[in-house]
Amino acid sequence: MKNARKKSIALAAGLAITGLVSASAASLGGIDDESLGADTDVVASCDTGGVDVRYTTVYNAGGGTPYYGVTSVEVSLVDVACQGLLYTLTLGSLASGASLDFTSGTVVLTAGVFNVAMAGAIDAELIGDIAIIISGDPTP
């Protein structure tokens, strides 16, 4: 009987300490189960095979040093699953890495190709990289 009483006291003490630890943890900065959360989701790509790009250029002879300017970008080998999704295309500077032009719109495919018009003719010699992101919800 003596052992049972000791076990009961030890169990009661353990529960009391657990309650105190829980109470003090709940008072740390107002964290509670309603303000915490995490979630994950699978992000599927509409095109896993990659795309090709080709520049359309125009010769600009006026106003100083002549240059070939990029007026549009043709994006090809685009999977049909990308049809109607939003795209963002950025042309980057070879020298500084800064953006030379940025445009966005909706993917409208014709035989796996869509064209992106640039705001103006960008000197082809300055272009060092291109970034294309296709994402978003399909348009209705």
In a domain, 44, yes or no: no
Long-range (24+ apart) CB contacts under 8 A made by 50-53 are 50/77, 51/75, 51/76, 51/77, 51/78, 51/132, 52/76, 52/77, 53/130, 53/132
29 and 98 inside one domain: no
pLDDT tens per residue across all 140 residues of the chain: 555 554 444 444 444 444 444 444 444 455 555 655 666 666 678 888 889 999 999 999 877 889 999 999 999 999 999 999 999 999 999 888 788 899 999 999 999 999 999 888 899 999 999 999 998 765 55
89 and 23 inside one domain: no
Q: Is the pTM of this model over 0.75?
A: no
Domain of 6 in residue numbering reads as: 1-36
Note the pLDDT of residue 20.
Answer: 44
In a domain, 46, yes or no: no
